[in-house]
Amino acid sequence: MWGSRMALRRLQKIAVAPLSVKEGITSKIQREMSTLQRVYVTRQIPPEGLRILKESGQVQFELWDSDDVPVSRAELLKKVKGVDGLLCVLTEKIDAELLDAAGPNLKVLSTMSVGFDHLSLDELKKRGIRVGYTPEVLTDAVAELTVALLLATSRRLIEATHEAKTGGWGTWRTLWLCGHELANSTVGILGLGRIGVAIAERLAPFKVKKFIYTDVAPRPELARAINAEYVSFDELAKQSDFLAVCCALTPETKEICNKELFSKMKNTSIFINTSRGGVVNQEDLYEALSTGQIAGAGLDVTVPEPLPTNHPLFTLKNCVILPHIASASYTTRNAMSALAANNLLLGLRGEPMIKELKL
């Protein structure tokens, strides 16, 4: 497993060696430039990735030069025409329409994300397009944010800050703003992978009594690292004082966290999701929170994103919602962009990518 700082240093060293341009006149350089592979980058990615692309001498790339406003669909369909490679982020839907617009030259897609539910994998496979992605480098950042969100939700920190700012802080009261602590608790993990293990490692010093998990099958090697017990989905719901969702979004996990799950949880339970918004039925979650079926929820991901400000979940004091920032540390985002750039360049050279999806 790569820590994000170690990963960034390693990726800076791995960075694909620049293609040599022998000494020659300007016209020769211009001819060589005209033969460089064309790449479109759909967002102003962090500087390490851009540096690697610029210094590679391998590609000429065009960039949607904004980090605040995503490229429009119409603009994207126009810009991908004839490109050899595409570097995208999770806000871009890569489907048959886009791949048809790109045409037969497109051989490599590199997404600056660990998730790939924005990609039509069947369409990419059918066209023989290789796909790079950026797992592992964001494990530490996501685990840290998950713990922070869990504590903010369970100890009611957002509510407390609001009360302090708006005059609600009066005389000391015996049960005012009381929350739920981790000591002697059972923490459940839905989907035990690298991130789930990293979350458990960070929670263990809080004197958690037991870690349990469920997945499509037992993961004994990962479970041993955190002394976690494999349980059924129902038992995960029933036993967990804190339930952290870490699974990928697939057809099987879509809205797997619904009224059936929430109805089996304790009314003191805290529900945390930093995976994908689509794994949760938000109407069912609102019902569970508003009726006291569960104690609280912390969400870093929603459907849609951004979540409209008039969404019912925003009206609940026991629901903490963040704007999808789990991987948002400078080190991690630079490591992600560096890995995405390296994957793209290696793929265009016909070499093995550092991290490639097997289609």
Q: Is 324 annotated as catalytic?
A: yes
Distances (CA, A) of 171 to 174, 189, 205, 317: 10, 39, 33, 21
According to DSSP, residue 240 is labeled: -
- Choose among 172, 196, 310: nearest CA to 244: 196
5: tokens are: 């700082």
CA dist 343 and 7 (Å) reads: 14
Place of tokens 């963040």: 322
Given the residues 118, 162, 180, 324, the one annotated as active site: 324
258: tokens are: 């619904």
First to last CA, the chain: 22
CA dist 87 and 93 (Å) reads: 12
HSE on the CB side for 156, CA within 13 Å? 16
Residues annotated as catalytic are 324
